[in-house]
Structure 1
Amino acid sequence: MEIALTPAERAFRQEARRFFAVDYPQDILAKLRGGDRLTRADHVRSQQALQSRGWLGIGWPRENGGPGWTPVERYLFEQELEQAGAPNIIPMAIIYIGPIICAFGTDAQKALWLDDILQSRAMWAQGYSEPESGSDLASLRMTAVRDGDDYILDGTKIWTSGAHWADWIFCLTRTSREERKQDGISMICVPMGASGIRIEPIISIDGSHELNRVTFDQVRTSVAHRIGEEGKGWHYANVLLASERVSYAHVGRKKADLAALRVKAAMMPGDAAPTMLDEPRFAARLAALDMEVAVIEISVLRALTTQMDPAMVSSLKIACTEVAQKITELWLELAARYRSPRLDRGQEGWADVLPPQMRFGVPETASYLFERAQTIYGGATEVQKNIIWRQLARADALP
Structure 2
Amino acid sequence: MDIRYTPEQLAFRDSVRAFLKEVVPAAVRDKTQQCLPLSKAEREQWQRDLFKQGWGAPSWAVEFGGTGWDAVQRHIFEEECAAFGAPEQLPFGLKMVAPVIQKYGSREQQERFLPRIISGQDWWCQGYSEPGAGSDLASLKTTAVRDGDDYIVNGQKTWTTLAQHADWIFCLVRTNPEVRKQEGISFLLIDMKTPGITVRPIIMLDDGHEINEVWLENVRVPAANLIGEENKGWTYAKFLLGHERTNIARVGRSKAALQLVKKAAAGQIGNDGLPLLQDARFRDRLAQVEMDLMALEVTNLKLISQEGSSHAPGPEASILKVKGSEIQQAITALASQVAGPYAAAHILPDDQVHELSAAFPQAQEHMTSQYFNYRKTTIYGGSNEVQKSIICRMILGL
Match for 2:280: what amino acid? P
In the TM superposition, what are the counterparts of 1:274-293 in structure 2 within 5 Å? 274-293=274-293
SS in structure 2 of the partner of residue 212 of structure 1: strand
Alpha carbons of structure 1 residues 368 and 146: separation in structure 2 relative to 1, 3 Å:
same
SS in structure 1 of the partner of residue 382 of structure 2: coil
- Separation in structure 2 between the aligned mates of residue 25 and residue 341 of structure 1, nearest angstrom: 27
| 2:382 counterpart (379, 382, 396) | 379
SS in structure 2 of the partner of residue 367 of structure 1: coil
Partner of 1:252: 252
Match for 1:314: what amino acid? S
What is the deviation of 1:313? 1.6
Partner of 1:343: 347
1:315 equivalenced with 2:288 (yes/no)? no
What is the deviation of 1:7? 3.2
- Separation in structure 2 between the aligned mates of residue 95 and residue 342 of structure 1, nearest angstrom: 31
SS in structure 1 of the partner of residue 205 of structure 2: coil
Q: What per-residue deviation string (whole Å, max 9, x for no partner) do you get for residues 170-208 of structure 1?
A: 000011124321112110011111111111111223332
Q: What per-residue deviation string (whole Å, max 9, x for no partner) do you get for residues 73-123 of structure 1?
A: 111111111111212111001110112112222222223222221221110
SS in structure 2 of the partner of residue 141 of structure 1: coil
- Separation in structure 2 between the aligned mates of residue 291 and residue 124 of structure 1, nearest angstrom: 35
Structure 1, unaligned stretches of length 5 or more?
none
The 8 Å contact of residues 35 and 360 in structure 1, kept in 2 or not, is answered as no
| 1:368 counterpart (351, 366, 371) | 371
Partner of 2:161: 161
- Separation in structure 1 between the aligned mates of residue 148 and residue 35 of structure 2, nearest angstrom: 51
Alpha carbons of structure 1 residues 196 and 384: separation in structure 2 relative to 1, 3 Å:
same
What is the deviation of 1:280? 1.5
- Separation in structure 1 between the aligned mates of residue 65 and residue 395 of structure 2, nearest angstrom: 39
The 8 Å contact of residues 35 and 369 in structure 2, kept in 1 or not, is answered as no
**266-275 vs 250-259, which moves further:** 266-275
- Separation in structure 2 between the aligned mates of residue 115 and residue 309 of structure 1, nearest angstrom: 24
Partner of 1:195: 195
What is the deviation of 1:268? 2.9
Partner of 1:111: 111
SS in structure 2 of the partner of residue 52 of structure 1: helix
- Separation in structure 2 between the aligned mates of residue 64 and residue 128 of structure 1, nearest angstrom: 25
Match for 2:63: what amino acid? E
| 1:390 counterpart (390, 393, 397) | 393
1:243 equivalenced with 2:243 (yes/no)? yes
**257-266 vs 23-32, which moves further:** 23-32
Match for 1:143: what amino acid? T
The 8 Å contact of residues 246 and 313 in structure 2, kept in 1 or not, is answered as no
What is the deviation of 1:309? 6.8
Partner of 1:84: 84
Structure 2, unaligned stretches of length 5 or more?
none
**23-32 vs 188-197, which moves further:** 23-32
The 8 Å contact of residues 175 and 184 in structure 1, kept in 2 or not, is answered as yes
Please give the TM-score of this superposition, normalised by the length of structure 2.
0.92
SS in structure 1 of the partner of residue 78 of structure 2: helix
- Separation in structure 1 between the aligned mates of residue 279 and residue 337 of structure 2, nearest angstrom: 12
Q: What per-residue deviation string (whole Å, max 9, x for no partner) do you get for residues 258-291 of structure 1?
A: 2221111111379992121122211110011111
The 8 Å contact of residues 206 and 367 in structure 1, kept in 2 or not, is answered as no
In the TM superposition, what are the counterparts of 1:64-79 in structure 2 within 5 Å? 64-79=64-79
Q: How many residues align?
A: 393
In the TM superposition, what are the counterparts of 1:35-184 in structure 2 within 5 Å? 35-184=35-184
Moved over 6 A (4+): 269-272
1:215 equivalenced with 2:225 (yes/no)? no
SS in structure 2 of the partner of residue 205 of structure 1: coil
- Separation in structure 2 between the aligned mates of residue 310 and residue 270 of structure 1, nearest angstrom: 45
Alpha carbons of structure 1 residues 196 and 341: separation in structure 2 relative to 1, 3 Å:
same
The 8 Å contact of residues 127 and 158 in structure 2, kept in 1 or not, is answered as yes
What is the deviation of 1:339? 6.3
Q: CA RMSD in A?
A: 2.4
**165-174 vs 362-371, which moves further:** 362-371
SS in structure 2 of the partner of residue 253 of structure 1: helix
The 8 Å contact of residues 58 and 95 in structure 1, kept in 2 or not, is answered as no
- Separation in structure 2 between the aligned mates of residue 196 and residue 359 of structure 1, nearest angstrom: 49
What is the deviation of 1:10? 2.2
What is the deviation of 1:25? 2.7
**382-391 vs 2-11, which moves further:** 2-11
- Separation in structure 2 between the aligned mates of residue 263 and residue 18 of structure 1, nearest angstrom: 24
SS in structure 1 of the partner of residue 135 of structure 2: coil
The 8 Å contact of residues 203 and 210 in structure 1, kept in 2 or not, is answered as yes
Please give the TM-score of this superposition, normalised by the length of structure 1.
0.92
| 1:332 counterpart (336, 339, 342) | 336
The 8 Å contact of residues 206 and 369 in structure 1, kept in 2 or not, is answered as no
**48-57 vs 352-361, which moves further:** 352-361
Match for 1:99: what amino acid? P
SS in structure 1 of the partner of residue 194 of structure 2: coil
Alpha carbons of structure 1 residues 385 and 210: separation in structure 2 relative to 1, 3 Å:
same
- Separation in structure 2 between the aligned mates of residue 7 and residue 355 of structure 1, nearest angstrom: 43
- Separation in structure 2 between the aligned mates of residue 34 and residue 124 of structure 1, nearest angstrom: 25
- Separation in structure 1 between the aligned mates of residue 331 and residue 236 of structure 2, nearest angstrom: 33
Alpha carbons of structure 1 residues 164 and 389: separation in structure 2 relative to 1, 3 Å:
same
